Amino acid sequence: MSLRETLDAAKREAQEGGSLIFGKDAKDAEAEEATATRSNKRSAANAKPTRERAANVRVVSSEDAKNGATGKKESEMSKEERKAARQKQRAKEDLAASVRNILLDADPAYKRTQHVWWVMLGVGFAMTLATFGINYALNNMESPDPSSPLVSIAMIAIVVAYVCVFGAFIYDWRKGRPIRKEVDARVDGMTRKKMEQIVREDAARKAAEREAKKK
């Protein structure tokens, strides 16, 4: 065998060996890629229904379940179900309003603010009526005197009326409104059972007071 033939034979053996090695690696790589692709498809197929289910699920609290909430959207309800749901909502709002009034009536600080508010409004309206009466009297005079004491009294009365009326609303906004907001927060955090208990206790207290007055 010549030197050239020997080199050609060695070259062919090297090429065949490389083809076997690289062919095996390529097959392994293709197998791994196919496995990863199938795994990604399965993950995507599993994730999509989960997102769709999560988008259609509505969480219903235990309080809503006790009050008869079905978890349906209003558009999915029948006419009777919508009517019943609105009635329950109005009943809940009326109950909450009753509890707010009970708690505010039982608060001495709020009762003081309301007393001051009504006094200021009463003085303001009284001064307004006095101003109208003085103006009526001045208009009925044949020759009203601009320097008459009635004119000065009318001016003072109208100033006092404005101060009292506007001052009453400012006073209520500064003093009464924070108490109302605090009570609203308390009522919003109450359960229906707690609110019904407060209403029953208030009714029993008023009934006892009426019985005491009769005796």
Q: Note the pLDDT tens digit of each residue in 123-171.
A: 999 999 999 988 888 777 766 666 778 888 888 999 999 999 999 999 9
Question: Which two tokens mark 138?
Answer: 């001045």
Residue 15 shares a structural domain with residue 121: no
In a domain, 63, yes or no: no
Q: In this structure, what DSSP letter does residue 146 have?
A: T
Q: Determine the structural domain holding residue 12 and report its residue range.
A: 3-57
**Total domains present in the chain:** 2
The reported pTM is: 0.56
Residue 112 shares a structural domain with residue 190: yes
What is the Cα–Cα distance from 72 to 134, expressed in whole angstroms? Answer: 65
In a domain, 73, yes or no: no
What is the pLDDT at residue 111? Answer: 93
What is the pLDDT at residue 63? Answer: 47
In a domain, 27, yes or no: yes
Instruction: Decide: 125 and 157 in contact? Cβ < 8 Å.
Output: no
In a domain, 100, yes or no: yes
- Given 40, 57, 74, which residue is the final one in a domain? 57
Residue 46 shares a structural domain with residue 101: no
What is the pLDDT at residue 17? Answer: 55
In a domain, 75, yes or no: no
Residue 193 shares a structural domain with residue 103: yes
What is the pLDDT at residue 15? Answer: 57
Residue stretches of the chain with pLDDT short of 70: 1-76, 142-146
Which residues, 6 or more positions from 144, have their beta carbon under 8 angstroms from its beta carbon?
138, 151
- 206 CA to centre of own chain: 33
Residue 94 shares a structural domain with residue 40: no
Residue 12 shares a structural domain with residue 111: no
In a domain, 48, yes or no: yes
Q: Report pLDDT digits (tens) over 82-93.
A: 788 888 888 889
Residue 117 shares a structural domain with residue 30: no
In a domain, 78, yes or no: no
What is the pLDDT at residue 136? Answer: 83
Secondary structure, 3-state, 95-144: HHHHHHHHHHHCCHHHHHHHHHHHHHHHHHHHHHHHHHHHHHHHHHCCCC
In a domain, 69, yes or no: no
Residue 133 shares a structural domain with residue 190: yes
The structure tokens 């303001």 sit at: 124
What is the pLDDT at residue 28? Answer: 52
Residue 120 shares a structural domain with residue 190: yes
